[in-house]
Amino acid sequence: MKANLQVEGLQQESRFVQRLMNVIEKGGNKLPHPAMLFVYLSFAIILISWLLNSLGVNVVEPLTGETVHVQNLMSTEGVDYILTSLISNFAGFSSLGLVLVMMLGIGLAKQVGFFETFMRVSLTKVQSRFVTYAVIFTGIIGNIASDAAVVIVPAMAAMIYYSLNRHPIAGLLIGYAATIGGFTANLIIAGTDVLLSGITTEVIQGYNDTARAVTPVANWFFGMISVGMLVVVIAFVAKKYIEPRFGEYNSSMAEEGFLNHKESHISKQQIKGLRYAALSGILYVTFIAILTIPQNALLRGGGDSFLDSLFLSSIVPLLLGFFLIISLTYGFTVKSLTSLSDVPVLMGKSIAEMSGFIVLVFFAAQFIAYFNWTNMSTIVAVSSTNLMESMNFTGLPAVVLFIILCAVINLFVTSGSAQWALLAPVFLPIFYNVGFDPGYIQMAFRIGDSATNLLAPTSPYAILILGLMKQYDYRTGIGTLFSAMLPFAIIMLICWISLFVIWSLFGLPVGPGVYMYY
């Protein structure tokens, strides 16, 4: 009787969730490709600049007292700017070089098999009572390997849950919630930190050239603390809602022959490779620490403050060195590298996977450059700031509202870099004018951008997970997936915002030297 009720409950998908997801899916599917979105927005900026210039729109810049007018991109001067700045806008875009350099190291580690082996070992070498926590933790920190974690962690979690006589789809969904919902948190600096900080720097220095650059470590402290919080929150939701919802597993509902599939064995050589890679990584970190911590150390750059050190300003090259060391050590140990000549070939493959990002950056760079050149960023920032001040809505509540706005937009624009390139030119100057640090606002964006990833039906990862679910139970559908993800997304967002508010009220830095106000 109980089993029948559970099957019946699984078949009855929430009508409200179904309708809501259908609306989101239809709306998201109507949006153009992110790159084309910036093409259309760039043309819109050109037309709007002509209109606002014709109307004589202007504001008084509060810091200088100067009157700022909208510059017309359809004028001779504007056309000259469009044509002559095309290449420099792209080549000079802050995040482009930084991300590609990081991917040389991270991509090599992925190509030689380091990340896959690390995640598989992390999930299979733990006691059964700690499996849920291991799945969540591995999924969150696995975002350093980008989409590799989304492919590996949920699938491995499902197999482990099945071997422990627990429902495999519950394990699958817990792994998915950790990898996608916790994408913005990590213990170390990831490619996302480099990408977003580059966009933030590009925007804020385009608005105010005296503003300091936002470094990849700008959100490091809060990101590390977020890992612990998310492990607890996701585990709570899993125990309270997900595992009871699915109950006992009926293996007869799986695809024929699917459960006979056996996961490939982790060889002794792969374990040896992980150990040697870990040792080489520890030695590298120790060496860098020796060059950084002492007062007159080489990577202190002669400065008294650690915030002004050569270490922080050179974090991307140093991280590249770290990933190269562990990749080479692991690769030569397991024979996925046979000579140094293999390294540039594998690096080339990892850069090839970034082709979509490069195309996106080209068009996003033009949009941001046009928005700044026309002075529309100043017009919007000053006007919005004046409105916020007149409403006395310039403090932490405004930031919380911004997080919620990002969470909603994320349902339609699933690319985090595209969404930030879209929102940053508008909102960073507004918050900067009332004293908020750009790195702090970047962290606020990342919370909203991450939590609702689980509810975006246009995400390619949702299709992947849905396919895996059907292999374990052919009756599952999109309603099953999103009704299960709903409590994860809502509770994660509430807890993440709460942590951010508490963090802010105590005046703690979200990263080295990055506080609520600059």
pLDDT at 478 over 80: no
Q: Region 390-394: what's the mean pLDDT? A: 76
Closest alpha carbon to 104 in 352, 320, 341, 278? 320
pLDDT at 341 over 50: yes
Structure tokens at 262: 């056996």
pLDDT 10s digits, 252-274 = 888 777 776 656 678 999 999 99
For residue 418, the tally of other CB atoms under 10 A from its CB is: 20
Spatial CB neighbours of 32, under 8 Å, sequence gap ≥ 6: 40
| Whole-number Å distance between alpha carbons of 189 and 170 | 30
Q: Region 359-366: what's the mean pLDDT? A: 89
pLDDT at 372 over 90: no
| Whole-number Å distance between alpha carbons of 340 and 503 | 46
| Whole-number Å distance between alpha carbons of 404 and 398 | 10
Question: What percent of the chain shows pLDDT beyond 70?
Answer: 90
Sign of the alpha-carbon dihedral angle for 468, 167, 234, 113: negative
* Average pLDDT across the chain, whole number: 86
Using CA atoms of 435, 441, 442, 448 in order, give the dihedral in degrees to the nearest 10. Answer: -170
| Whole-number Å distance between alpha carbons of 327 and 403 | 37
pLDDT at 14 over 50: no
Confidence of residue 492 (pLDDT cuts 50, 70, 90): very high
Confidence of residue 115 (pLDDT cuts 50, 70, 90): confident
Q: Region 502-515: what's the mean pLDDT? A: 96
Q: Region 466-474: what's the mean pLDDT? A: 86
| Whole-number Å distance between alpha carbons of 394 and 435 | 9
Confidence of residue 24 (pLDDT cuts 50, 70, 90): low
Q: Region 468-495: what's the mean pLDDT? A: 88
Strands 58-60 and 67-69: antiparallel
pLDDT at 5 over 70: no
Least confident of 101-110, 111-120, 251-260, 277-286: 251-260
Which amino acid is present at 74? M
pLDDT for 177 = 95
Using CA atoms of 26, 28, 31, 36 in order, give the dihedral in degrees to the nearest 10. Answer: -150
- Quote the Cα angle for 78-83-85, to 5°: 90
| Whole-number Å distance between alpha carbons of 124 and 263 | 11
Three-state SS at 517:
strand
Confidence of residue 498 (pLDDT cuts 50, 70, 90): very high
When mean pLDDT is compared over 174-188, 196-210, 400-414, 494-508, the highest value belongs to 494-508
| Whole-number Å distance between alpha carbons of 411 and 453 | 7
Cβ atoms of residues 474 and 255 within 8 Å: yes
- Quote the Cα angle for 381-382-383, to 5°: 95
Three-state SS at 52:
helix
Cβ atoms of residues 276 and 333 within 8 Å: yes
pLDDT for 462 = 81
pLDDT 10s digits, 301-340 = 665 667 677 887 788 899 899 999 999 999 999 999 999 9
| Whole-number Å distance between alpha carbons of 288 and 283 | 9
pLDDT for 2 = 46
Partners of residue 511 on adjacent β-strands: 514
Cβ atoms of residues 184 and 140 within 8 Å: no
Spatial CB neighbours of 155, under 8 Å, sequence gap ≥ 6: 172, 175, 468
Look at phi and psi of residue 112 and say left if phi exceeds 0, alpha if psi is from -120 to 50, else beta. alpha
